[in-house]
Amino acid sequence: MTDLPVTTAPTEPIPSAADYPGLDAWRGLTAVQQPTWTDSAVYQASVAELSALPPLVFAGEVDVLRERLAAAAQGKAFLLQGGDCAETFEGATADKISARVRTILQMAVVLTYGASLPVIKMGRMAGQFAKPRSSNDETRNGVTLPAYRGDMVNGFDFTPESRAHDASRMVRAYHTSASTLNLIRAFTQGGFADLRLVHHWNKGFMANPAHSRYESLAREIDRAVKFMDACGADFDALKRVEFFASHEALVLDYERALTRIDSRTGLPYGTSGHFLWIGERTRQLDGAHVDFLSRVRNPIGVKLGPGSSADDALRLIEKLDPEREPGRLTFITRMGAKNIREKLPALVEKVTASGAQVLWVTDPMHGNTVTSPNGYKTRNFDDVIDEVRGFFEVHKSLGTFPGGLHVEMTGDDVAECLGGSDPIDQEAFLDRYESVCDPRLNHMQSLEMAFLVAGALAKKGA
Ligand SMILES: O=C[C@H](O)[C@H](O)COP(=O)(O)O
Ligand SMILES: C=C(OP(=O)(O)O)C(=O)O
Ligand SMILES: [Mn+2]
């Protein structure tokens, strides 16, 4: 986390978000994938409570992130964004949060070496509590109930009470985000991010004989750390790292209630997370999500699936980044391994020709979801890696910069995605499948991906 911004005392009254009528323009537009809250009194009270609570992140930090992402858009940094598909209230424990942060830091060290560039570390954390779904309902044994939409909206338990859309859950999502962020800030500022410690953890990954193919890269990193030490590098200064929070800005009641006017600039900022993205299912050009996010100063992401045209991308730029400000807009492509080499080039070419400087990031998870023969939602590690390779190949052939990686991952030893060098098979799902939505790379698979991507970055191509 960055230090708090220094603010000067305002000489004029600070406007409130209510003074920006445009922030409510989305209410007149189509907002897909929204909850249907069951109790309007609870809804009113929850929104009022959220509107009065302190911001979770600060405008100054958001501005720092925009600068970091601008560097990535210009090929001078690489973004690593990772975390659960869906965070849960129950899963917000110290152990699970620390394992996820630790895994992201481990991946970042390997990627920093591979890219020879700063890696921007960002969690799908402290706010990733709402999910768009393909179907409104779920049927089990002949009983149909509303689909699970994330802990911010309803519960995963398959009962009518749990699946009702309860607006007070937004307040719990806020508090769970606050405690998660508190721990992340403590970890990343308090010594947990020490490069020597993170490097030591990565040696644990190498201790598994299944990972022997990464030995030469691991040895190079080891030598680099020793070289830094011998040169007298200030490792104490490397104990603190910037770490940013991000989530899909799906539930607009929540996002709007957490929008604040920055006292320095007088501009609206979403304060539920540093980076907010619009999902593949909610990116309609004239829809509520695009309108609302066009009005906040945060860096914004948009997911682009295989059905996205270059025109869609250009119109999104026009709405979300009319000033063509590097760092403002990130396109997170999630094409699927079998589509990326065919679909991505036209998008990148036309966007580049338009003069926009967006950041291109690959999400190799969401276009590669399959059902395992024994009925679990899963992804093959090889498909995930193949999409990353395709992403690098396309950017290499066009002379553009492959600026980041967006992954669903955890620090725990779960079994949700198939394969990897120490392979997970579908039988392991019976005991170790924990995700309440999409399958995540486990700790080892996440590190293996970092080694593979670092190898590709070191070669500046696939
Ligand atoms: O995380 C993304 C979506 O919420 C998820 O892929 C939707 O899954 P579904 O098709 O099971 O609804
Ligand atoms: C919903 C998600 O992805 P997409 O919008 O790409 O389907 C997600 O990132 O969990
Ligand atoms: Mn997902």
Question: DSSP state, 268?
Answer: E
Atom of ligand 1 nearest to the CA of 135: 12
Distance of CA 335 to the CA centre of its chain: 17
Closest CA to 368 of 345, 388, 352: 388
For position 462, what pLDDT does the model report?
A: 42
Q: What's the CA gap between 34 and 132, in Å, rounded?
A: 8
State if residue 279 touches ligand 2 by the CB under 6 angstroms criterion. Answer: yes
64-94: pLDDT as tens digits = 999 999 999 999 999 999 999 999 999 999 9
Residue 49 contacts residue 253 (beta carbons within 8 Å): no
Return all residues near 13 (Cβ < 8 A) that are at least 6 apart. none
Structure tokens at 69: 């992402």
Residue 115 contacts residue 140 (beta carbons within 8 Å): no
* Per-residue pLDDT of the chain in tens (462 residues, 90 and over written 9): 555 555 555 566 778 888 888 999 999 999 999 999 999 999 999 999 999 999 999 999 999 999 999 999 999 999 999 999 999 999 999 999 999 999 999 999 999 999 999 999 999 999 999 999 999 999 999 999 999 999 999 999 999 999 999 999 999 999 999 999 999 999 999 989 999 999 999 999 999 999 999 999 999 999 999 999 999 999 988 899 999 999 999 999 999 999 999 999 999 999 999 999 999 999 999 999 999 999 999 999 999 999 999 999 999 999 999 999 999 999 999 999 999 999 999 999 999 999 999 999 999 999 999 999 999 999 999 999 999 999 999 999 999 999 999 999 999 999 999 999 999 999 999 999 999 999 999 999 999 999 999 988 887 544
Of 282, 334, 339, 408, the residue with max ligand 2 atoms within 8 A of its CB, to mutate for a pocket test, comes to 334
Closest CA to 176 of 254, 292, 62: 254
Query: What's phi and psi for 121, nearest 5 deg?
Result: -100, 125
Q: What's the CA gap between 404 and 406, in Å, rounded?
A: 7
pTM: 0.96
Count other C-beta atoms under 10 Å from residue 371's C-beta: 9
Q: Quote the ligand 2 centre to 130 CA distance (angstroms).
A: 11
- Residues by chain with Cβ below 5 Å of ion ligand 3: 85, 438
Q: Is 338 annotated as a binding residue?
A: no
Q: How far apart are the first and last CA of the chain?
A: 32
Strands 137-140 and 370-371, bridge-based pairing: unpaired
Atom of ligand 1 nearest to the CA of 408: 1
Helix (H) or strand (E) holding 184: helix 168-189
Which residues approach ligand 1 with their CB closer than 6 A?
A: 85, 131-134, 437-438
Q: What's the CA gap between 215 and 206, in Å, rounded?
A: 7
Structure tokens at 119: 């890696």
Q: What's the CA gap between 82 and 406, in Å, rounded?
A: 6
Instruction: Give the number of whichever ligand sits closest to the CA of residue 279.
Output: 2
What are the E-state strand segments in 343-437? 359-362, 370-371, 377-378, 404-408
Closest CA to 133 of 33, 205, 222, 240: 33
For position 21, what pLDDT does the model report?
A: 82
State if residue 447 touches ligand 2 by the CB under 6 angstroms criterion. Answer: no
Q: What's the CA gap between 34 and 153, in Å, rounded?
A: 9
For position 456, what pLDDT does the model report?
A: 85
Task: Please say whether the dihedral angle defined by the alpha carbons of residues 133, 134, 136 and 138, taken in this order, is positive or negative.
Answer: negative
Residue 362 contacts residue 304 (beta carbons within 8 Å): no
From atom 5 of ligand 2, which residue's Cα is the shortest distance away?
279
Task: Please say whether the dihedral angle defined by the alpha carbons of residues 301, 302, 304 and 310, taken in this order, is positive or negative.
Answer: negative
Query: What's phi and psi for 96, nearest 5 deg?
Result: -70, -40
Atom of ligand 1 nearest to the CA of 366: 6
Residue 145 contacts residue 122 (beta carbons within 8 Å): no
Helix (H) or strand (E) holding 47: helix 40-52
Atom of ligand 2 nearest to the CA of 131: 1
Q: DSSP 3-state assignment of 326?
A: coil
ipTM: 0.98
Q: What's the CA gap between 257 and 176, in Å, rounded?
A: 16
Helix (H) or strand (E) holding 332: strand 329-333
- Domains of the chain, each with CATH number or no CATH: 17-193+240-458 (3.20.20.70)
For position 458, what pLDDT does the model report?
A: 82
Structure tokens at 94: 């110290």
Instruction: Give the number of whichever ligand sits closest to the CA of residue 439.
Output: 3
Q: What's the CA gap between 168 and 190, in Å, rounded?
A: 33
Strand partners, 337: none
State if residue 283 touches ligand 2 by the CB under 6 angstroms criterion. Answer: no
Q: What's the CA gap between 324 and 216, in Å, rounded?
A: 41
